């Protein structure tokens, strides 16, 4: 009987079939609650709003933590239905150590921490922001975010090269600019780290306008860096494009196959050609 309830609760918590109405309702409810939580954290920082609606914010936070705590405990209880987490104690510990379970724990911990530990006001204020981590709970529900993660993981090497190349460009450009502009703008270009702030703003084409070269030589170098910065956008754009296209094709189960023999058209033809030539 208890086992039956446990199985049912587990299906509602981890439901994937859209036919299961309670699981569907639970999912929508949790996702909505996560979004409202993020919204609440954002609004709390607006002057006047927190002091005026302090009570409402407190009640909503307590309610959210209650729901998330119950969810976390239910997950801890039902996780043993999964083969990977068999064993009433050992399995549960192994489940609690999974990234998604840790995220669930982090979503409720900031609420309980001040109860156990003596914290000053500033630390409590910092803890408030930690509630934003609840947004990471979305990871459990969004298949799309996982897909984005796959692309970034697959193209990791190429992206690292780009980041490395851009870093070298940044360091060299900013050092030169520091050397050129330091005498005419000693305050703005006071050091290479300060010049790096200009470099990032220029290479990413953000261009806040708080720092910019004013000497002819500095402007000439700045123009070259700005033009090279286009590459800093163009190259990762190309890499991600290729990766995304591959990932979408993979998900749709499409491969460039030969309509005759069904082999991948991009694979090495050695074996198949032998098979064709020796009938």
Nearest CB to a second copy, comparing residues 73 and 258: 258
Using rule CB under 8 A, residue 91 touches a second copy: no
Name which of 139, 92, 130 is nearest 112 in CA terms: 130
Nearest CB to a second copy, comparing residues 93 and 164: 164
Binding residue for a second copy, selected from 63, 90, 207, 250, defined by CB under 8 A: 207
Which two tokens mark 72? 């976390």
Write down the least CB distance from residue 99 to a second copy, Å: 16
Nearest CB to a second copy, comparing residues 86 and 255: 255
C-alpha torsion 147→153→156→158, nearest 10: -40
Using rule CB under 8 A, residue 192 touches a second copy: yes
Binding residue for a second copy, selected from 74, 96, 158, 217, defined by CB under 8 A: 158
Write down the least CB distance from residue 179 to a second copy, Å: 6
Which residues from 128-147 bind a second copy, rule CB under 8 A?
129, 132, 135, 138, 142, 144-145, 147
Nearest CB to a second copy, comparing residues 46 and 89: 46
Binding mask 162-191 for a second copy (x = CB under 8 A): xxxxx-x--xx--xx-xx----------xx
Provide the phi-psi class of 95: left if phi over 0, else alpha when psi is between -120 and 50, else beta: alpha
Using rule CB under 8 A, residue 19 touches a second copy: no
Sign of torsion over alpha carbons 78, 84, 88, 92 = negative
**Under DSSP, is residue 257 helix (H, G, I), strand (E, B) or coil?**
strand
Contact present, 37 and 109 (Cβ < 8 Å): no
Sign of torsion over alpha carbons 245, 249, 255, 259 = negative
Using rule CB under 8 A, residue 103 touches a second copy: no
Nearest CB to a second copy, comparing residues 55 and 279: 279
With b meaning 16 or more CB within 10 Å and e meaning fewer, what string describes 41-74?
beebeeeeeeeeeeeebeeebeebbeebbebbee
Nearest CB to a second copy, comparing residues 26 and 130: 130
Which residues from 28-87 bind a second copy, rule CB under 8 A?
38, 41-43, 45-47
Using rule CB under 8 A, residue 248 touches a second copy: yes
DSSP bridge pairs for 264:
257
Question: From the centroid of its chain, how far is CA 114?
Answer: 28
Binding residue for a second copy, selected from 88, 116, 117, 270, defined by CB under 8 A: 270
Q: How many residues bind a second copy (CB under 8 A)?
A: 95
């Amino acid at each position: 009987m208890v086992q039956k309830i446990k199985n049912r609760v587990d299906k509602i918590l981890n439901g994937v079939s859209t036919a299961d109405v309670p699981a569907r309702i639970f999912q929508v409810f949790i996702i909505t609650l996560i979004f409202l939580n993020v919204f609440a954290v954002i609004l709390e920082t607006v002057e006047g709003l927190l002091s005026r609606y302090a009570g409402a914010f407190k009640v909503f936070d307590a309610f959210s933590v209650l729901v998330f705590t119950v969810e976390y405990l239910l997950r801890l209880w039902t996780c043993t239905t999964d083969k990977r987490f068999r064993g009433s104690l050992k399995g549960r510990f192994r489940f609690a150590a999974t990234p998604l379970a840790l995220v669930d724990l982090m979503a409720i911990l900031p609420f309980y921490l001040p109860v156990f530990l003596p914290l000053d006001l500033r630390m409590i204020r910092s803890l408030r922001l930690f509630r934003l981590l609840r947004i990471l709970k979305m990871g459990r529900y969004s298949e799309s975010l996982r897909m984005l993660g796959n692309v970034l993981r697959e193209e990791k090497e190429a992206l690292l090269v780009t980041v490395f190349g851009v870093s070298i460009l940044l360091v060299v450009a900013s050092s030169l600019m520091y050397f050129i502009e330091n005498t005419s703008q000693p305050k703005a270009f006071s050091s290479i780290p300060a010049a790096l702030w200009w470099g990032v703003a220029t290479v990413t084409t953000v261009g806040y306008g708080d720092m910019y070269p004013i000497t002819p030589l500095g402007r000439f170098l700045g123009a070259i860096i700005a033009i090279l910065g286009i590459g800093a956008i163009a190259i990762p754009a190309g890499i991600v494009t290729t990766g995304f296209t591959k990932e979408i094709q993979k998900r749709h189960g499409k491969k460039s196959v030969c309509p005759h023999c069904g082999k991948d058209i991009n694979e090495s033809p050695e074996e198949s050609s032998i098979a064709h030539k020796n009938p």
